[in-house]
Structure 1
């Protein structure tokens, strides 16, 4: 195999335009092939299942069968491709620790691994990340979340520790440098507010060797945002349903709710100006470290300088109307309807699974690869379980913070 054959692995970070890039790669597969660029699997779903298998990640309540054992055939397809360049994207890889990174690099040999890291200014990440966490079932207010991120020693341990596990850029880069030379890591910055919306796509295209404009789309893609009041509705709904839904049920439910809430004209979620000093200080330290390390940068490190957003009246800051009790009643009613819908979905899924088993008969015994995959899944579940316990246990809280410090050493 020629030394020029590469695999470009886009690892996030999360909330940095990953959905936009993944959609563009999927839509432009045919056009990319004309330039010698191949996207394995055919869809981002295939990539996600393979990476979940590699990481030991599972969706609670479903999808285990499609994830288990998915990495090895995916990796083999990358190696077997005759295209000079292969590219795939999955932000879960920002969580990878050195052992997982080494396994990925070894699985894709003899291709040269080029790591692409998309980065966004911390001020914009925080509000977007909190919204996503609310949509995924978290119950912290934005104020509580920011306190935990600012100081993981205070506030819910799972919120602060969980954020920095995914968003500490230097920690992520340290893990990937355990198996990838520094000169093979590319930093792509998200354009600052006010710049051309397609600039991120063009920057990504430049890294993988595609012409400018190829990854542009006539429609805006990505995760649609909700405003302050809509996020508060979902957050309160989470409090009511905290112990009643499996993860796959909640994800299905949030897709339905999000469709009904996006597009409303309401105050956007922005980080209060009172938080700006520590965000700016942390950002400056990150930019200095990136500059000192000398990674190739596509874009500008100036894009990572946070800019204070407009003031936002957060829920609970005063000015509630007499309609608050009505709103609470409406939320309770929505919880009941939503729970019924989610349980109906789960019953239908179980019936379909039973029909598939009856048609297919008894399956083959587990292979060594699947047993190893199940072991990784158990390890990932144990770490996730321990982090979830951190809020209510001093021992688990101490362990979570100690783990973050141990794995984040420069």
Structure 2
């Protein structure tokens, strides 16, 4: 293993990145003893937030946070990467569709290190439903039908992050192909993804024995439709803030609605031909590129469901499952409100005065 190597894991989103990043975090001390570093700023800063902010700063984005909240995070990350005596890893999926100017800055700032690019990729049959419901959790309002139409036109952020030839052509433009590593996400849910990831990073799996229980779980059709309808009622500025992230994306969607059992979001049957065509384009590009592929290229082909399996249109959810999701959401938010401490639940003076006037009528 090179003593001056940096691995940039640039995505893609919805390819097990939450799990992989959490496992790196849990095993950071053990990995460091073997010369592999997953940087954090300090004990008071969450490691994954540090990587997120570094990525935001490199991209020149705020993503709904306070303006400038990520300023300086990229330079802080670079200092950590350059100080490390062995190999280092930076991981965040929002880096996948980075513009050329950001990539050029990253390569310049890491000059003197042996830079490697790692990109995890999943078949579009699973990826697109996961990406749509994730976008809804992030505050978007579009229907699944609209989302898929725009993906096929190549317009939304998610598809730019999933467009394998485009992503790797940009990130690998100035690197030899053997320093670009593509990890295919297996169809089965077991240790295979982690083992492939370790191979791409040239690390021994035994150096990271602590498993992670983190899983960015998907929502079902009823739960996704509920959040989408909620998003339509909430002003855009509120859907892009920290409060929305805490209450809707994390508390409501991730911690509560994702636990419900309802029909999963699946790719529409008439969309499989396009997804299969894209898979073949990706496979042909990888074969001709000479990049290092870890896994099976056949994992990139979407698997059609059995002919007798019913498909549930997530844009047309009936009242009963939607009501069930809504009641569970109301219960979760009621419990959350009950745990809030004053003054969070205290009415403002103007509201109290208005309430007294109403009671006096």
Q: Normalized against structure 2, the TM-score is what?
A: 0.82
Q: Is the 8 A contact 2:27 2:210 kept in 1?
A: no
* Residues in 1 aligned to 2:171 and 2:48: alpha-carbon distance in whole angstroms: 22
The 1:273–1:220 alpha-carbon spacing in structure 2 relative to 1, beyond 3 Å, is farther
Partner residue, 1:183: 178
Question: Contact 2:11–2:120 (CA<8 Å) still a contact in 1?
Answer: yes
Cα distance in 2 between the residues matched to 1:219 and 1:103: 33
State the distance in 2 between where 1:316 and 1:24 align: 35
- Work out whether residues 23 and 212 of structure 2, in 8 Å CA contact, stay in contact via their aligned partners in 1: no
Query: 247, 253, 256: which is aligned to 1:253?
Result: 247
Aligned to 1:228: 221
* Residue-by-residue CA offset, 1:178-205 (whole Å, 9 max, x unaligned): 33332210111111x23x5111111111
Q: Which moved more, 1:219-228 or 1:26-35?
A: 219-228
1:69 counterpart = 2:63:
no
Match of 1:105 in 2: 107
- Structure 2 residue 67 is matched with structure 1 residue 54: no
Contact 2:144 2:315 (8 Å CA) reproduced: no
Structure 1 residues 213 and 267, CA gap change in structure 2 (3 angstroms): farther
CA contact (8 A) 1:228 1:269 kept: yes
List structure 1 segments (4+ residues) > 6 angstroms apart after TM superposition.
none
Deviations 1:155-176 (A, max 9, x none): xxxxx43232221111111111
CA gap of 1:307–1:86, structure 2 versus 1, over 3 A, is same
Which deviations, in whole Å up to 9, do the C-alpha atoms of 1:283-312 show, x marking residues without a partner?
Answer: 111111111111111111111111013432
CA pair 268-289 structure 1, distance change in 2 beyond 3 A: same
C-alpha separation between the residues in 2 aligned to 1:47 and 1:162?
Answer: 19
- Residue pairs, 1:2-401, within 5 angstroms: 4-41=3-40, 43-62=47-66, 64-65=68-69, 67-82=70-85, 84-152=86-154, 160-191=155-186, 193-194=187-188, 197-215=190-208, 217-243=210-236, 245-248=238-241, 249-254=243-248, 255-258=250-253, 259-309=255-305, 310-315=309-314, 317=316, 320=318, 327=323
SS at match of 2:131: helix
TM-score, scaled relative to structure 1 = 0.73
Deviation of 1:99 (Å): 1.6
- Unaligned runs of 5+ residues in structure 2 are 42-46, 345-361
The alpha-carbon deviation at position 61 of structure 1 amounts to 4.4
In structure 1, what is the Cα distance between the partners aligned to 2:237 and 2:297? Answer: 44
Q: What are the ranges of 5 or more consecutive residues in structure 1 without an aligned counterpart? A: 153-159, 349-410
Aligned-pair distance for 1:49?
Answer: 1.2
**Shift in Å, 1:276:** 0.8
Q: Deviation at 1:63? A: 6.9
Aligned residues, how many?
326
Q: Within 2, Cα distance between the matches of 1:272 and 1:210?
A: 39
Is the CA contact (8 Å cut-off) linking 1:6 and 1:112 kept in structure 2?
Answer: yes
1:106 offset after TM fit, Å?
Answer: 1.4
CA distances 1:214-270 after superposition (whole Å, capped 9, x unpaired): 446545322122211111111111111144615123212221211221211111111
